[in-house]
Amino acid sequence: MVDNWFAGEGDDFRLLGTRCAACACVFFPREDGFCRNPGCAGGELAEVPLSRRGRVWSYTDGRYRPPAPYVSDPELPWEPYTLIAVELEAERMVVLGQAVPGVAVTDLEVGMEVEVVPGVLNEDNGTTWTTWHWRPVEVGA
Amino acid sequence: MTTEVAVLGAGMHPWGKWGRGFVEYGVAAARAALADAGIAWRDVGSIVGADTVRGGYPGYVAGATFAKALGWQGARVASVYAACASGAQAIGTARTQILAGMADVVLVVGADAAPKGFFRPAGGDRPDDPDWLRFRVLGATNPAYFGLYARRRMAVHGDTLDDFAQVKVKNAAAGALNPNARYRKPVAVEEVAASAVVADPLRLLDICATSDGAAALVLSSMDFARRHGAADPVRIRAVSTVTPTYPTTVLDLPDIATDSAAVVAPADGTFRASIARAAYEEAGIGPEDISLAEVYDLSTALELQWYEDLGLCGEGEGAKLLRDGVTASGGRVPVNTSGGLASFGEAVPAQAIAQVCEVTWQLRGTAGARQIEGARVGVTANQGLFGHGSSVVAVR
C-alpha cells in the first residue's frame, strides 16, 4: 500500500530508504520531500537500500485485534502478531516491523540478530499486500 | 519573579465513561474553576481551549466552542492542538498572553469524550500520515509502543513485571482517595498479574484506559491576583513545550523508525529528558527542589522512565526509587498523587491541565485525603504525539 519501501527477491530483499546528497543522512520510511537534518540546507534525496541484518532493540506482541486501518478478518479468531524493533548498525537507526509468522515473543531476546525478509500483510479478492518481516537468523549448525 | 502567572482557580469534571459530549464536561470544569477562583465568566479576558479531535468541528475550535457554551462575552480566543500535550500548550498560550500584557485573566479548558478501546487514526486512506501508517502497515497500537519500552527496560535495566505492577498498586491507592478519579479501588499486585496480556510484557492493568473527562484553570497576572485578594497564590513558573533534537534515537509514537544517527551525533539525553530540563532551566530549579510530580503513566513501565527523565534518579534507577518508596505518598517525592492516568484514564486534551489542577491543590494544601505534607514545588510531565514536549513547574 506504500510504494517503494522495499524491493528485491530472496536474499536480495531490502528495505529502501533515501539518502541526502548534501549531508548523507538516511531516512526510513523514505523521505522524498526534504532533508530533516536541521544543519543541512537540503540536497537531492536518492534511494538507498538499508542493511539486511540488525539486532533486536525490543519486541512485543498484539494480543488484541488492532483497529482499522489494520486489515484483519473479523470472522476469524485473532492470531497475535509479534513486533520487533531492530537496530541497524551501519545506519544507526531502529526500524519496527512484524516478525515472520510463527515467531513469538518467547523466541526472542534483546540483542538477537535478525534479518529482513519479504512477507504478506494481507490478501483480499486476488490482491496481495506485501510487506517486510523480521526473521531471527539461525545460529549454529 | 516577573515571569510568573497565578493559578486563581482549578476545576474538573469527574472522569469516567459518561456517554455525553465533550462540551458538557468542559463547561462543568470551567464553571468549577471560575467558582474556585471567585471570578465571573464576564471578567475573563481570554479563553484558550485544548482541542479534541473526536468532537467534530467544535472539537477543532474548542476555545470558541466553550466560549459559546458559557455565553459569548467578547473574550479573546485561541484553540490549540498538540495531542497529549494540548493542555500544556493551552496553558503556555494563556501564560504568554498574560506575560505579554494582552490579558489579565485567562480561562484554560480541555475536555474529551474518548472512544472505548484502542485509539485509532482519523478515517480515510492516508498513506502520508505516520499515524495512519503505523496502524495500516504494522497494526502497532499505542500499547504496542508501551510494550516495546517496557521490554527494553527489562533487558537493559533489569526491571521486573513486579516492579511494573507496583506502580499500578501505588497509583491505584492514590486514586482511591480522589473523588475526580474514574477508578477508585485499591489494586493488588496479584490482580495486575492476573489481568490479560495486551502487549507483552504489559497487561491490562499496566495500561491506562480511555476516559471522558475535563479539567480547567483560571490563570492571571500576579498584579491581578493581588488586586483580587490572592496574596499568595500558587504560581506557574515554567511551561516547557520543546520539540525533539535531531536525530531522535528512541523509537517513539507514531513513528515506524528512528532517525539515523550515523551522520549527525545525537544530543546528550533523550527527548523526554529534554522536556523536563527545559522546564527546570526556565523555573531556575533542579530535580532536588521537587516536592511532587504528576507524570504521564500511560503504562506502568513508562512512569519509571519518567523518574529518570525528570532527574529524580539516575538512568536505570527508576525501579529502585519505586522499591524504596520514594515516589509513594509519604515518600520524598510522591509521584501521581492524583492517581495518575492509571486511575483517571486518558481524556487527551484535558490530562495535562488535570495534572496542573492536582499540583495546585497539593501546593495549596487542599488535596483532602491524598494531601502530602509541605509541598512547595510541583512538576508535571508528558509528551504529545508528533514531538510535543509538555512540562509545567508550579510553586507556592
Give the integer Cα–Cα distance in Å for B303 and B383: 12
Give the integer Cα–Cα distance in Å for B310 and A8: 45
CA B12 to chain centre: 14
Give the integer Cα–Cα distance in Å for B312 and B289: 10
Residue of B nearest to A25 (CA): B263
Residue of B nearest to A2 (CA): B127
Q: Quick check: A66 contacting B, CB < 8 Å?
A: yes
Give the integer Cα–Cα distance in Å for A102 and A45: 37
> What pLDDT does residue A135 have?
98
Given an 8 Å threshold on Cβ–Cβ distance, is B144 in contact with A2? no
Asked whether the predicted pLDDT for residue A138 surpasses 80, the reply is no
Given an 8 Å threshold on Cβ–Cβ distance, is B261 in contact with A95? no
The mean per-residue pLDDT over the stretch B34-51 comes to: 98
Residues in chain A: 141
Q: What are phi and psi of B81, to 5 degrees?
A: -125, 125
The mean per-residue pLDDT over the stretch B43-47 comes to: 98
Q: Which A positions 72-131 lie with beta carbon below 8 A of chain B?
A: 72, 81, 83, 85, 90-98, 105, 109-111, 121, 131
- Each residue of A12-34: pLDDT tens digit? 999 999 999 999 999 999 999 99
Q: CA of A84, closest CA in chain B: separation in Å?
A: 8
Whether the Cβ atoms of residue B222 and residue B18 lie closer than 8 Å to each other:
no
Q: Which residues contact B211 (CB under 8 A, 6 or more apart)?
A: B15, B16, B17, B112, B114, B182, B344, B345, B346, B347
Whether the Cβ atoms of residue B230 and residue B86 lie closer than 8 Å to each other:
no
Give the integer Cα–Cα distance in Å for A27 and A88: 12
Q: CA of A132, closest CA in chain B: separation in Å?
A: 9
- Each residue of A30-51: pLDDT tens digit? 999 999 999 999 999 999 999 9
Which residue of B149, B258, B270, B302 is the best one to mutate when testing the A interface, meaning the one whose CB has the most A CBs within 10 A? B258
Opening angle at CA A138, ends A135 and A141, nearest 5: 165
SS3 B284: coil
Sorted by where each starts, the structural domains of chain B and their CATH numbers stand as 5-118+212-233 (3.40.47.10)
Which residue of B120, B129, B138 is the best one to mutate when testing the A interface, meaning the one whose CB has the most A CBs within 10 A? B138
Q: Quick check: A57 contacting B, CB < 8 Å?
A: yes
DSSP secondary structure string for all residues of B111-145:
EEEPPSSS----SS--TT-HHHHHHHHH---HHHH
Neighbours of A63 (CB within 10 A): 18
> What pLDDT does residue B155 have?
98
Q: Which residues contact B221 (CB under 8 A, 6 or more apart)?
A: B5, B6, B98, B99, B101, B104
Asked whether the predicted pLDDT for residue B223 surpasses 80, the reply is yes
> What pLDDT does residue B375 have?
96
Is A14 exposed, middle or buried, given 0-12, 13-18 or 19+ CB atoms closer than 10 A? middle
Locate the DSSP E strands across A22-106.
Answer: 26-27, 45-49, 53-62, 81-88, 93-99
The mean per-residue pLDDT over the stretch B205-224 comes to: 98
B121 contacts on A by Cβ (under 8 Å): 69
Give me the helices (H) in chain B, please. Answer: 22-37, 56-60, 62-70, 86-99, 130-138, 142-157, 161-175, 189-194, 222-227, 271-283, 300-309, 318-323, 340-344, 348-364
Q: Quick check: B248 contacting A, CB < 8 Å?
A: no
Q: Quick check: B135 contacting A, CB < 8 Å?
A: yes
Whether the Cβ atoms of residue B220 and residue B8 lie closer than 8 Å to each other:
yes
Given an 8 Å threshold on Cβ–Cβ distance, is A57 in contact with B139? no
B262 contacts on A by Cβ (under 8 Å): 24-26, 90-93
Q: What is the pairing mode between strands B377-384 and B292-295?
A: parallel
Whether the Cβ atoms of residue B13 and residue B213 lie closer than 8 Å to each other:
yes
Asked if ipTM goes beyond 0.90, one says yes
For residue A37, give the nearest of B139, B156, B246 by CB distance: B246
Q: What is the pTM of this model?
A: 0.97
Confidence of residue B115 (pLDDT cuts 50, 70, 90): confident
Q: What are phi and psi of B343, to 5 degrees?
A: -100, -20
Asked whether the predicted pLDDT for residue B181 surpasses 50, the reply is yes
> What pLDDT does residue A1 have?
61
Contacts 24+ apart (CB under 8 A), B277-280: B277/B311, B278/B238, B278/B240, B278/B242, B278/B389, B278/B391, B279/B238, B279/B239, B279/B240, B279/B379, B279/B381, B279/B391, B279/B392, B279/B393, B280/B238, B280/B311, B280/B393
Locate the DSSP E strands across A50-112.
Answer: 53-62, 81-88, 93-99
- Each residue of B273-322: pLDDT tens digit? 999 999 999 999 999 999 999 999 999 999 999 999 999 999 999 999 99
Give the integer Cα–Cα distance in Å for B330 and B291: 11
> What pLDDT does residue A141 have?
42
The mean per-residue pLDDT over the stretch B30-37 comes to: 98
End-to-end CA distance of chain A: 38
Given an 8 Å threshold on Cβ–Cβ distance, is B125 in contact with A69? yes
Given an 8 Å threshold on Cβ–Cβ distance, is A94 in contact with B257? yes
